[in-house]
């Protein structure tokens, strides 16, 4: 272990309480999910699901059963679900796979899409596609009039996330899709639903989307597994080649334990769905209200109320650097992130926060927290006590540096 990392970890000794609020980047897997996965590591169900023997048949049945559970949770059919190693891979498959036979045309996305969408679009732009980014307002809502202007007969694909992973904005997906299908009936509509799944009602049949990305760890499932919903009849090609197993679009041997864990986490998220969401929403509002009223010079990023995902808290602290604040809070046992997982190690402001009009210092002073159904009021009490102290200490340091 690197000496500097070892020292940082040692500094955490004797922490009074630990509150993990970084499910944007990873999550603790509940014991029930771990127990569901274990037989597929070391018992008779560890076989390759394409092989005709008992361990293979058991693995195959587990994958099919899991696909059915995931599909039912979004109003889809099992054969419309493709498991991938995660959200990034699912977004890559959605964009590149749906355009694999196209020689050119137009792709339309919002300004605040995750990097696994925007970076793929940049690559496709280099291959001859035109990419248009639709602006958002100060709360992150897509400008539907601008969307209408951008979508035309040359549009091949539109991708708009159902919920912003950074600021929690719940986008008007149904209205956006109606505009797209009216302006370009043949265009494919994809949504990254990773931050909607398990937190807001999301039914692909009711919405009418062609493709949707899902993530396991964002609902307290294991890392390394995600899924892409592809509506029957939508033509998508593979972006990787190799052994074809139980699914056509993603070659290789399926990771049965993680697929089973994803399905188990999904069941837990949707059992008592309304109660889970209500609990998260209440804790979210406690954090937002407590921080904004208890710490001066703070800004909430994204909307309030029902237009915001129930788990998302993103706040900018003026005169305070976000990365330093994550370290300071970590030393108190409160684990958050500064910006998104994709950008936190790059000295650039979040493209999402700049898109909604935040200044450079506001974007750099932001922290992202996500509550879960597992958090308690005692957790929130501890966080609301820790944050003002951490901010006060950092502002005092920055102030003394400025005086020097």
Domains of the chain, with CATH numbers? 3-21+273-403 (3.90.1150.10), 32-270 (3.40.640.10)
What average pLDDT score do residues 82-100 get? 97
Number of residues in the chain: 404
The answer to whether residue 342 is catalytic is yes
- Cβ 40 vs Cβ 261: under 8 Å: no
The stretch 135-156 carries a mean pLDDT of 98
pTM, full prediction: 0.93
Neighbours of 111 (CB within 10 A): 18
User: In 211-321, which ranges are continuous DSSP H helix?
Assistant: 256-270, 273-294
Q: What is the mean pLDDT of residues 245-254?
A: 91
- Compute CA distances 87 → 51, 94, 198, 245, whole Å: 28, 10, 15, 20
Average pLDDT over residues 2-29: 80
Whether 345 has a pLDDT exceeding 60, the answer reads: no
pLDDT at 91 over 60: yes
pLDDT at 4: 64
6, pLDDT greater than 80: no
- Find the mean pLDDT for residues 155-165: 98
Query: What was the pLDDT predicted at 346?
Result: 54
Looking at 81, 196, 342, 363, which residue is catalytic? 342
- Kindly tell me if the per-residue pLDDT of 152 is higher than 90: yes
**What pLDDT is attached to residue 14?**
72
Least Cα distance to 48 among 39, 35, 57, 36 occurs for: 57
Is residue 31's pLDDT more than 50? yes
Sole residue written with tokens 């997906």? 173
CB 155 within 8 Å of CB 180: yes
Q: Does the pLDDT at position 13 exceed 90? A: no
Q: Say what the pLDDT of residue 5 is.
A: 64
pLDDT recorded at residue 50? 84
| Residue 43 confidence class, pLDDT cut points 50, 70, 90 | confident
- Higher-confidence residue of 45 and 326: namely 326
Q: Is the pLDDT of residue 305 over 60?
A: yes
Query: Is residue 346 within 8 Å of residue 253, measured between CB atoms?
Result: no
Residues 6+ apart with CB under 8 A from 263: 36, 65, 66, 69, 70
pLDDT averaged over the chain?
Answer: 93
Return the pLDDT at 96: 97
Residue 340's pLDDT is what? 46
Cα distance between residue 199 and residue 249, in whole Å: 27
CA distance 277 to 272: 9
Q: How far apart are CA 42 and CA 53, in angstroms?
A: 16
Give Dmax over CA atoms of the chain in angstroms: 74
> For residue 368, what are the β-bridge partners?
314, 337
Q: Which residue in 146, 118, 142 sits closest to 131, CA to CA?
A: 118
Q: Categorize the per-residue pLDDT at 10 as very low, low, confident or very high, splitting at 50, 70 and 90.
A: low
Do the Cβ atoms of 180 and 149 come closer than 8 Å? no
Q: Where are the alpha helices (DSSP H) in 187-229?
A: 204-207
R_g (Cα) of the chain, nearest Å? 22
Check whether 111 has a pLDDT greater than 70.
yes
The residue whose two tokens read 């597994």 is: 225
Statement: residue 12 has pLDDT above 90:
no
Band of residue 341 on the pLDDT scale cut at 50, 70, 90: very low
Within 114-256, strands assigned E span 129-134, 155-159, 188-192, 211-215, 226-230
- pLDDT-derived band at 245 (thresholds 50, 70, 90) equals confident
Q: How is residue 261 written in tokens?
A: 């864990």
pLDDT above 90 coverage of the chain, percent: 84
Q: Output the six-digit token pair for 151.
A: 């979508």
β-partners of residue 19 are 334
């Amino acid at each position: 272990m690197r000496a500097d990392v070892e020292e940082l970890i040692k500094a955490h000794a004797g922490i009074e309480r630990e509150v993990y609020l970084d499910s944007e980047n990873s999550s603790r897997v509940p014991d029930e999910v771990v127990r569901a996965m274990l037989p597929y590591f070391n018992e008779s169900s560890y076989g390759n699901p394409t092989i005709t023997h008992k361990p293979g048949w058991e693995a195959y049945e587990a994958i099919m059963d899991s696909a059915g559970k995931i599909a039912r949770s979004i109003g889809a059919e099992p054969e419309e679900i493709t498991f991938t190693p995660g959200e990034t891979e699912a977004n890559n498959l959605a964009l590149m796979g749906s355009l694999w036979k196209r020689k050119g045309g137009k792709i339309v996305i919002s300004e605040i899409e995750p990097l696994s969408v925007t970076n793929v679009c940049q690559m496709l732009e280099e291959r001859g596609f035109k990419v248009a980014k639709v602006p958002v307002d100060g709360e992150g809502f897509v400008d539907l009039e601008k969307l209408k202007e951008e979508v035309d007969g040359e549009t091949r694909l539109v991708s708009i996330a159902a919920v912003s992973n950074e600021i929690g904005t719940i986008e008007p997906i149904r209205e956006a899709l109606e505009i797209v299908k009216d302006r370009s009936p043949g265009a494919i509509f994809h949504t990254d639903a990773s931050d909607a799944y398990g937190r807001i009602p999301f039914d692909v049949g009711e919405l009418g989307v062609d493709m949707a990305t899902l993530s396991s760890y964002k609902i307290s499932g294991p890392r390394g597994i995600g899924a892409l919903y592809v509506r029957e009849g939508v033509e998508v090609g593979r972006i990787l080649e190799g052994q074809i197993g139980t699914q056509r679009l993603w070659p290789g041997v399926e990771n049965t334990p993680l697929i089973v864990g994803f399905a188990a986490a999904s069941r837990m998220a949707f059992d008592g769905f309304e109660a889970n969401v209500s609990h998260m929403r209440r804790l979210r509002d406690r954090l937002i209200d407590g921080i904004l009223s208890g710490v001066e010079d703070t800004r909430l990023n994204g909307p309030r109320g029902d237009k915001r995902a129930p788990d998302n808290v993103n706040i900018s602290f003026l005169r305070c650097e976000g990365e330093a604040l994550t370290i300071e809070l970590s030393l108190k046992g409160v684990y958050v992130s500064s910006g998104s997982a994709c950008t936190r190690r790059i000295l650039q402001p979040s493209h999402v926060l700049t898109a909604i009009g935040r200044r450079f210092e506001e974007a750099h002073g932001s922290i992202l927290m996500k509550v879960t159904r597992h958090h308690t009021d005692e957790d929130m009490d501890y966080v609301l006590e820790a944050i003002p102290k951490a901010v006060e200490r950092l502002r005092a340091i920055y102030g003394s540096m400025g005086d020097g």
